[in-house]
Structure 1
Amino acid sequence: MTAGRTGAAITGTLIVLASLSACTASSPNSESTDEAPSTPTATTRVPRLVDESDRPLVAFDPCLDIPDDVLAAAGYDPNSQDNTDFAATHYTMLGCSYDGVLKFPGVAAYALTVRSANFDWAIELQKTADNGDDVIPSEIAGRRALLKTNLSLPERCGMSVETSYGVLIFAQVLFGKGGTRVPEAQWCTGLEDTAERIVAVLDDFESHTR
């Protein structure tokens, strides 16, 4: 009888161990080497404004994507940022303006507006022609660009630079001292350098969002 009980006990123990082993193998918390690692999903930032057209989204937002140190190096106060967005049903322009901090002869103050638009280069050329701007074709970092002035808008200078989604538009305005108008030869002073600094940021931005 003792031998029979001992044999039964051993058999029962083996059954319990086998059951525990099976439970451990099928536990949902156990790691499986056959499972493929999850792939992170890339996310795209939704622009602050979106129009009703089928144009590309405005990817580069001057108000969010231009670093403070770049603005400061170009001679502008990042803390003076003021929103200049323009929303329409058929296109979008995201933009901000900044006050200048450098001193120039005969200039009491100056400011810069940077707008990022999703209309294409052909439309920008047409807008420029319609405005009667005096244009100097240029190039910045391999991108088509236009330097623009207009005698009907004194003390102002503009620059347009082509982007992957549309156009980046720079507008500089100067204010002469004592009511004296700043000479035309100075209207565009520093604008091309500023545009080059910001386009370098755009290049880096687009290289990471393609």
Structure 2
Amino acid sequence: MTAGRTCAAIAGAFIVLATLSACTASSPNPVSPDEAPSAPTTTTRVPRLVDESDRPLVAFDPCLDIPDDVLAAAGYDPNSEDNADFAATHYTMLGCSYDGTLKIPGVAAYGLTVMSANFDWAVELQKSADNGDEVVRTDVADRRALLKTNQSLPESCDMSVETSYGVLLFGLVLFGMGGARVPEAQWCTGLEDTAERIVTVLDDFESRTR
């Protein structure tokens, strides 16, 4: 496993840890000349994972809905994609991790995990409080967002963005050169820009699926 892949895998583990403290289409039935035509059918994608709760389905799937060129422009290798899904009884998180490609001073490797969850904003706020995260409230593309760090998870940074069905979660993890720790001021390097790029994709996705 490459250093980058290890980094992305750890990013996925971090984001799940913080959270824990295939298309189908219907076909019209044949109608006889005497029958009125049926209403047009639509194609609905069934999420790869569905929980047992009454929460909304996870509409935006990072593994399927983030274009390769968006990932590449943000500094990540689309070909390094690694599944980071997490299924629980009461909520679902669909996600993928990616290796970073940019050269960052003092950083040997870095990785990103993007997870799409169907718990609501109030739950995300409570989880952040329970985890003892240091939180900066902000917004991304006119959506409520949180930028989060935690001293118990050094060299990592998380961002949460509200969606129509729940929350989109971003987890960044970095490794310093030669075993040296990345300074805290760099833990969130580039994460807000990455989130803005992907939320632009989410905006378009939600406008087409309303």
Same fold (TM over 0.5): yes
1:141 alignment counterpart = 141
2:158 alignment counterpart = 158
Please give the residue correspondences for 1:107-126 in structure 2 after superposition, counting only pairs within 5 Å.
Answer: 107-126=107-126
| Offset of residue 38 of structure 1 | 5.4
Q: Distance in 2 between matches of 1:36 and 1:84?
A: 47
1:87 alignment counterpart = 87
1:190 alignment counterpart = 190
| Offset of residue 134 of structure 1 | 0.2
| Offset of residue 39 of structure 1 | 3.9
Q: Residue deviations 1:55-78, cap 9 Å, x none?
A: 000000000000000000000000
Q: Distance in 2 between matches of 1:108 and 1:38?
A: 59
| Offset of residue 40 of structure 1 | 2.1
| 2:69 aligned with 1:69 | yes
| Offset of residue 152 of structure 1 | 1.1
| Offset of residue 43 of structure 1 | 2.3
One-letter amino acid of the counterpart of residue 84, structure 1: A
| Offset of residue 44 of structure 1 | 1.6
The unaligned stretches of length 5 or more in structure 2 are: 1-32
Give TM-score scaled by structure 2 length. 0.82
When the two chains are superposed, the root-mean-square deviation of aligned CA atoms in Å is 1.3
Aligned length: 178
Q: Distance in 1 between matches of 2:106 and 2:62?
A: 29
2:130 alignment counterpart = 130
Q: Distance in 2 between matches of 1:98 and 1:78?
A: 7
Q: Distance in 2 between matches of 1:38 and 1:183?
A: 62
| 2:167 aligned with 1:167 | yes
> How many percent of aligned residue pairs carry the same amino acid?
84
Q: Residue deviations 1:134-175, cap 9 Å, x none?
A: 000000111000000011111000000000000000000000
| Offset of residue 42 of structure 1 | 1.5
Q: Distance in 1 between matches of 2:98 and 2:200?
A: 18
| Offset of residue 203 of structure 1 | 0.3
The unaligned stretches of length 5 or more in structure 1 are: 1-31
SS of structure 2 residue aligned to 1:164: coil
Give TM-score scaled by structure 1 length. 0.82
